[in-house]
Amino acid sequence: MASTSRADYPPELSQEEENYLLSNLKDWSIAHGLTVRPAPSFVQPAQDPSGVLATTAPVTLYPSLFPRSCFEDGLAIQTAYNELYSAIARDESWLQGIVGELVDIDDFVANLWQTHLEVKKEGYVQDLSLGLFRSDYMVHQDPSQSDAAPGLKQVEFNTIASSFGGLSTKVSALHKYLLTIDAYPASSSAIIKENALQQSKSASSLAKGLAAAHTAYGFSQSSRPLCVLFVVQDGERNVFDQRHLEYALLEENGVRSFRLPFGETLSHTQLDSDRTLIYTPPNSPATTYEVTTIYFRAGYSPEDYPKEEDWTARLHLEKSRAIKCPSILTHLAGCKKVQQVLATPHSPHLKRFLPNGKVASRVLETFASIYPLDDSEAGNEARKLATDPSSATKYVLKPQREGGGNNVYRKAIPPFLEKLPETHWPAYILMEMIEPPPLENAIFRNGELQRGGVICELGVYGVCLWRDGNGYDQKGEILESWEAGYLLRTKGDQSEEGGVAAGFGAVDSVCLV
């Protein structure tokens, strides 16, 4: 049998081969919790009134080809990124400069900053912070130099609610299983082989990060049992991704956790006089728990704050003695504006946070060009690029938002800016589009298979636990820092956005080449 070459990867399947692969993929996914709650467009809520249904998470049939050197670089650089972003989160005065440019034009950022100031007025009572980060990249190959080695360019750095660490562990295991049971045709064995697949340890490793914070919190102030609190969105469909972290936290670390919808914070938690955070489980209010660590899987988007009271809830949590993952300053460090300030060509800021020149230059290599849209010299240059329909096609415009679906791409940028008052332009950053080499795969979503050109985005998780210095300056110390596994997300190449939960992409794993 002729072997599949990289150019015709993934291999064609006969109908019988496809049936075998899909029936195994579907059963394995459900049996192992590689699942999501169904979208209302897929299963109408009236058909599942008691909320018992789950369906397979969108996945790729094959692991996507990924350059080994890029994968290894991404993992190797993660602890430098942990150092960078924890240093930024500790540097209140530097962050104030960044936020200062946004507060008048971005209410969400202004509310976050105001919340920080209110806690600061009373004094922070917890000097430990936890980051469960994810640095996202695409492979970049200069089209004019097709024989040059591919490199990684960073899409963004997430400091809050970095998702898919649970499902990523599962999908890498799924692809390995499909290889083991010979679901991939024999012709592809030269490419898909055990040492080309990489298992992602993200679920365990992120849970270990939560457990490290839990332990570092120390003894109970109130002689109650201790717990970690997952603050979540109501009606979250990606719930099993989070559940895998909860189960790993309990089974591998013996740490109890609870899920609390963000909107119910004030009804189920209280602050003691010394600002110990007490959680009352609705099912057994007689036993209350002391919260060591608050893990935010909500609160990153303005939609999470429909009522004024939701900001009171964020303030209430931030004031508490519990360790926050992330703190408000860490959340703000993840603003696209921070990434832009670091990555604007000739920026002097990186060395402030990464004094080791070698480390700083490795990080710098992963930056794509990003410009402000303000009235600085770089900003004026960017305004020209963004408003000219011929140059705008090389860029993406991003607001200070998370969770997907917020960006403006390429030719849509000039008409978008035309409608936006110029005073609001500095709320956005302009980023060069990263153009990965063409790849193919097949995505299985909602029971349907779609084949074709795809774009992959590698996420590398990082765990960092640190102690803030006095006055939130650059002092302080990192207590724990490690690379925590990876995520590969893959979308059709016709889609600009890549969010899996937002309905654009699929979870995937790497097949290193």
Binding positions for ATP are 156, 336, 398-407, 409, 431-434, 457, 491, 497
Of positions 158, 242, 340, 509, contacts Mg ion by CB under 5 A? 158
Distance CA 340, CA 196 (A): 34
Q: Which partner from the list ligand ADP, Mg ion, none does 368 bind, CB cut-off 5 to 8 Å by kind?
A: ligand ADP
Q: Which of 335, 426, 300, 372 is nearest to 94 (CA)?
A: 335
The SS3 assignment for 259 reads strand
Site string for ligand ADP, 453-492 (x = CB under 6 A): ----x-----------------------------------
Distance CA 157, CA 443 (A): 25
Burial of 96: CB neighbours in 10 Å, binned 0-12, 13-18, 19+ = middle
Stretch 432-451 residues interacting with ligand ADP (CB under 6 A)? 433-434
| Residue with smaller CB distance to Mg ion, 10 or 58 | 58
Helices (H) and strands (E) in the chain, counts: 17, 21
Pairing outcome for strands 505-508 and 439-445: unpaired
369 and 343 in contact (C-beta within 8 Å)? Answer: yes
Segment contacting ligand ADP by CB under 6 A, of 71-79, 262-270, 431-439, 446-454: 431-439
Residue count, binding to ligand ADP (CB under 6 A): 18
Query: Which two structure tokens, joined as six digits, stand for 430?
Result: 């302009």
Q: At closest approach, how far in Å is the CB of 294 from ligand ADP?
A: 21
Of positions 83, 236, 241, 402, contacts ligand ADP by CB under 6 A? 402
Of positions 91, 402, 468, 508, contacts Mg ion by CB under 5 A? 402
Whether 218 is catalytic: no
User: 317's torsion region: left (phi>0), alpha (psi -120 to 50) or beta?
Assistant: alpha
- Regarding 400 and contact with Mg ion (CB under 5 A), the answer is no
Distance CA 429, CA 436 (A): 21
Residues 417, 421, 426, 428: is their CA dihedral positive or negative? negative
Segment contacting ligand ADP by CB under 6 A, of 119-127, 182-190, 397-405, 464-472: 397-405
Segment contacting Mg ion by CB under 5 A, of 157-165, 215-223, 311-319, 487-495: 157-165
Which chain residues interact with ligand ADP by CB under 6 A?
136, 138, 155-156, 368, 396, 398, 402-404, 406-407, 431, 433-434, 457, 497-498
Active site residues: 134, 156, 158, 163, 336, 398, 402-403, 489
